[in-house]
Amino acid sequence: MGVKFIKISVCYFVIGVCLGMFMSMTGKFTFTPVHVHINLLGWTAMTLAGLIYVAFPSASETRLAKVHFWGHNLALPVMMIGLALLVSGVAAAGTAVAIGGTVMVLSIIIFAINILLNVKN
């Protein structure tokens, strides 16, 4: 799972950087919260999770790691599309942000449980 996390994190990194470049070129920074969250939750958090899973294969090989991966990767696009719509004035998109955010938090809690249970001295 570690390598999968690292590879998908690079995709989020490209998306986040391209969004940042777009905002810089247009001078419109409406999507700053989306840019920040894609870089933090997509690039940084997933890269670190991937490196932890590479360093501790016992945690990487669990069902919890798979649930973490899929939960994180389903939640982030839902939350980010919802957030982009929300900051663009679509109030109803708050539901997508809430659902994506909740799944994201649950995925991160699953990651924490996995690490606490399966990373040994």
- With b for 16 or more beta-carbon neighbours within 10 A and e for fewer, the 34-56 pattern comes to bbebbbebbbebbbebbebbeeb
Q: Along the 121 residues of the chain, how does pLDDT read in single tens digits?
A: 999 999 999 999 999 999 999 999 999 999 999 999 999 999 999 999 999 999 999 999 999 999 999 999 999 999 999 999 999 999 999 999 999 999 999 999 999 999 999 998 7
CA angle 8, 93, 67 (to 5 degrees): 35
Q: How far apart are CA 121 and CA 44, in angstroms?
A: 25
Domain count, the chain: 1
CA distances from 14 to 11, 28, 54, 93 (A): 5, 19, 22, 24
Identity of the residue numbered 76: L
Q: What is the domain range of residue 9?
A: 1-118
